[in-house]
Structure 1
Amino acid sequence: MRQDWNYVPLSKACLIKPPKSEARQRLHQSDLVSFVPMSDLGIREKFFSSMEEKPFGKVSGSYTYFADDDVLLAKITPCFENGKLGIARGLVNGVGFGSSEFIVFRPSGELASEFLFYYLSQDGFRDAGQRVMSGAVGHKRVSKEFIENHLIPLPPLAEQKRMVAILDEAFEGIDAAIANTEKNLANAQELLESYLSSVFSRSSQDYPQKPLSDISTFSSGGTPSKRNDTFWCGDIPWVSGRDMKSTQLFDSQLHISVSAVAGSSTRIAPIGSLLILVRGMGLAHGAQVAELMVACAFNQDIKGVHPKSDLVPRYLVFALRHKINSSENILSNAAHGTLKINSEGLKNVLVPIPCIEKQNEIVTAIEALKLGIQHLESIYQRKLLALAELKQSLLQKAFSGALTSEMPDKQQKEAVA
């Protein structure tokens, strides 16, 4: 902490929740204003864009009021922890209304909006707020007392502007590096799908194709009764949609007993079987197909596929992932907006069938590529983490006073000019 800085509660440095009467005094009911739902507020993005306009009279009753240069902060979980905040700029008629879950700060003349934005962007601020959140699970909010009483440094306005200028320049470079890394990460993730497409498009031309129903048998799953405790204390892995995140399944989060299998519609699939997610939001990320490395049971959102002896299960995993993802007839919408795989469409998926040796050769090449992609993804993920940590390090340095105190006088003057 800088000894020459003044530290004041946020309630003293800002007007929190400006009154709607300001807008009522200068706007008619039919005048348009900006409307900002929670989805429009970015994650630690300095300025947000309002995509909607609504008549003042339609939103002035139950929505949160703010104006140009006010700072908005989400107060509800998980938006608060994620860092949803931003500065209002370019509002229609200078006025906006939005989510009731916004906290609105109007900085005093001694506090710059950009300085406040960067201060609220700190992990330390959000961590402190998270510790005192209250409310029902999924609806916890940061407390009014925490916001009002939280101390913020209040250096001279000129120094605030110097800090903002330094952070703007540094964050611009970091954000460019983040965007480039995210692009590389996306390209790495798309590389496997592109390779699968080339492999199986070529295989479809070079080898005979057979419907999945001709080369495998199917089984359905079920959920044992939750009311019977003895059903859920066994040693048999029981797979649900949330376990379908890998192309190989070695275990699951839940286990059931032999009596659960006997007393329900679920069945045990042997090692070498494939599980396909046929219903659920997991399908939004594409086909979820996994080879079983242990015998297990599974729920009704999953279908078991049991390949015949002339098929390498691992080959069929990759073939089905590609075929389902590239088909327009297999995936469709189910009830409540979820996705499902059409049973008849799945049975009729055409799979190219090379000899066993060629299947193993294809699997070896795909696994090698996957390993290389995973290595690249790990590098990019570590870089993204390092860049995020660099941002937080700069913020911590800034609000401890070290950032501007280390600047030569000439550089300070250039920063504020």
Structure 2
Amino acid sequence: MPSSQRFTPFSELIDLNPRGRVGPTADLVPYVGMGDVSNNGQLMRIGERPAAQLAPGQTCFQDEDVLFAKITPCMENGKGAYVQGLDGRIAFGSTEFHVLRARPGVSSRFVYHWTRSRKFRRSAEVMMTGSAGQRRVPAAFFERYRIQHRTLSEQHHIAETLDAVNERIVLAQALLAKLATTRDGVLDHLLRYGVHTGRREKETLVGAIPEGWNVRGIGEICSVGSGGTPPRKEGAKFFTHGGVPWVKTLDLTEGEVSATSETLTPLAVKSARLRTYPPGSVLVAMYGGWEQIGRTGILSLPATVNQAISALEPGSDVDPVYLLCALQHGRPRWRRVAASSRKDPNITKDDVRKFLIPLPPLEEQAKIVEIRDALLSQLSWAAADLRKSCQLQESLLDDLLMGTL
């Protein structure tokens, strides 16, 4: 429990935006821009900048200071960091940071965790000043925002508890990244060499593949269709909640498509002559520039699609999930065929039909899919553990800092 119910201005815990200056012999100085801090409060890198480029009164800081983004939308997004790794040097940074330096008798980590609090940032947002797109948290916010008084011992206890949760999150993030790298490496190997080692290879139009594999165009192994967009002027007559799922490019997740952002009425499907594709159909984005071309998904429910998507219904000699993996693995090759008469490149349904993929025997396809599913299961477990840790962090932040625990 807190030592008392006395409240104190946050400004009494910190020196705000302390001044510093470059040493007389400095050529390059440590520098942190807004892009060097993350939305979850991590200092991702420390760069350098010529001292001569620093403006008078440039934001400066040292180890154990806290950076707090003051401009919209960076502040609302959670931009900020706890400064470490300067080894006694003075660093400089974006003028869009407030720098919070803990005063003697105050835990710098306690200050940092307060800046990660949702309540703290929501209150800061209310006090922002300036025009839209250029709104900033004023220095006066730290004078007006009040928190429960805590002894230094209490501050350390709260900070250590929250640091332990942070460490758990960091470890969970590292595990998730490692598993994702492993998945990508294993799938790359499987889609190049298969599940058996030591086999002879043969050169093909998609590169070297094991003997016993074939190369087939999508049109040879799938029925290829597309869709369209009903007239939006019809409003609720054609567009509704809980209707027929209608897939657009941004609904493609590189995995299962189990929901869509918009659904259609049966009348819209009939009027626009849209085909409803069965579960197991593999979808490929054809429009939207390099970021979207070749984006994929596989239906887990019956759905129709718009005109930007090719829908592939696999034949009997290709596993739908293997087809999805092969398309994802071959995505860079779309750059060879994409063309456009407009600003953004695109591919056509005919390009999709002609697109070549390596095709192992069905039994080997099934083994590749089995390994892929096991890897995704590990990733799913790790992602769930990370979500739980983040939820625990949010709950503890509010409860410990507000004194309800």
| Equivalence for 1:413 | none
Residue in structure 2 matching 1:178, options 166, 172, 182: 172
**C-alpha displacement of 1:325:** 1.6
SS of equivalent to 2:253:
coil
**C-alpha displacement of 1:39:** 1.5
Assess if the C-alpha contact under 8 Å between 1:233 and 1:255 holds in 2. Answer: yes
Assess if the C-alpha contact under 8 Å between 2:173 and 2:386 holds in 1. Answer: no
Greater mean deviation of Cα atoms: 163-172 or 204-213 = 163-172
| Equivalence for 2:8 | 8
**C-alpha displacement of 1:117:** 1.5
How far apart are the structure 2 equivalents of 1:206 and 1:311?
A: 14
| Equivalence for 1:96 | 92
The root-mean-square deviation of aligned C-alpha atoms, in Å, is 5.1
SS of equivalent to 1:52:
strand
1:66 counterpart letter in structure 2: C
How far apart are the structure 2 equivalents of 1:135 and 1:261?
A: 48
> Which stretches in structure 1 are left out of the alignment for 5+ residues?
404-417
| Equivalence for 1:383 | 385
Assess if the C-alpha contact under 8 Å between 1:42 and 1:86 holds in 2. Answer: no
Residue in structure 1 matching 2:116, options 118, 121, 135: 121
| Equivalence for 2:275 | 268
How far apart are the structure 2 equivalents of 1:230 and 1:400?
A: 46
Q: Cα distance 1:363–1:270, how it changes in 2: closer, same or farther (>3 A)?
A: same
Q: Cα distance 1:199–1:45, how it changes in 2: closer, same or farther (>3 A)?
A: same
Would you say 1:321 and 2:325 are equivalent positions? yes
Would you say 1:65 and 2:65 are equivalent positions? no
| Equivalence for 2:199 | none
Would you say 1:36 and 2:32 are equivalent positions? yes
SS of equivalent to 1:60:
coil
For residues 211-247 of structure 1, the C-alpha deviation after alignment (integer angstroms, 9 at most, x for no partner) is: 2233445445444444443674365532111211264
| Equivalence for 2:219 | 213
Query: What percentage of aligned pairs have identical amino acids?
Result: 20
SS of equivalent to 2:260:
coil
How far apart are the structure 1 equivalents of 2:103 and 2:81?
A: 18
Assess if the C-alpha contact under 8 Å between 1:34 and 1:53 holds in 2. Answer: yes
How far apart are the structure 1 equivalents of 2:261 and 2:36?
A: 36
Q: Cα distance 1:232–1:351, how it changes in 2: closer, same or farther (>3 A)?
A: same
How far apart are the structure 1 equivalents of 2:66 and 2:154?
A: 16
SS of equivalent to 1:330:
helix
Q: Cα distance 1:124–1:186, how it changes in 2: closer, same or farther (>3 A)?
A: farther
Q: Cα distance 1:105–1:243, how it changes in 2: closer, same or farther (>3 A)?
A: same
2:322 counterpart letter in structure 1: F
How far apart are the structure 1 equivalents of 2:118 and 2:298?
A: 38
How far apart are the structure 1 equivalents of 2:79 and 2:343?
A: 28
How far apart are the structure 2 equivalents of 1:378 and 1:201?
A: 23
2:355 counterpart letter in structure 1: V
Q: Cα distance 1:346–1:87, how it changes in 2: closer, same or farther (>3 A)?
A: same
Q: Cα distance 1:339–1:11, how it changes in 2: closer, same or farther (>3 A)?
A: farther
Count of aligned pairs: 386
Assess if the C-alpha contact under 8 Å between 2:128 and 2:137 holds in 1. Answer: yes
How far apart are the structure 2 equivalents of 1:248 and 1:120?
A: 38
- TM-score (normalised: structure 1): 0.67
SS of equivalent to 2:211:
helix
| Equivalence for 2:245 | 237
**C-alpha displacement of 1:387:** 3.6
- TM-score (normalised: structure 2): 0.69
SS of equivalent to 1:105:
strand
SS of equivalent to 1:268:
coil
Assess if the C-alpha contact under 8 Å between 1:8 and 1:151 holds in 2. Answer: yes
How far apart are the structure 2 equivalents of 1:334 and 1:64?
A: 48
SS of equivalent to 2:323:
helix
Q: Cα distance 1:183–1:170, how it changes in 2: closer, same or farther (>3 A)?
A: same
For residues 20-73 of structure 1, the C-alpha deviation after alignment (integer angstroms, 9 at most, x for no partner) is: xx65xx789x965444221212455575642131445x4527x96233254211
How far apart are the structure 2 equivalents of 1:4 and 1:388?
A: 29
How far apart are the structure 2 equivalents of 1:136 and 1:17?
A: 23
Q: Cα distance 1:236–1:194, how it changes in 2: closer, same or farther (>3 A)?
A: same
| Equivalence for 2:311 | 304
> Which stretches in structure 2 are left out of the alignment for 5+ residues?
197-208
How far apart are the structure 1 equivalents of 2:328 and 2:44?
A: 38
**C-alpha displacement of 1:11:** 2.6
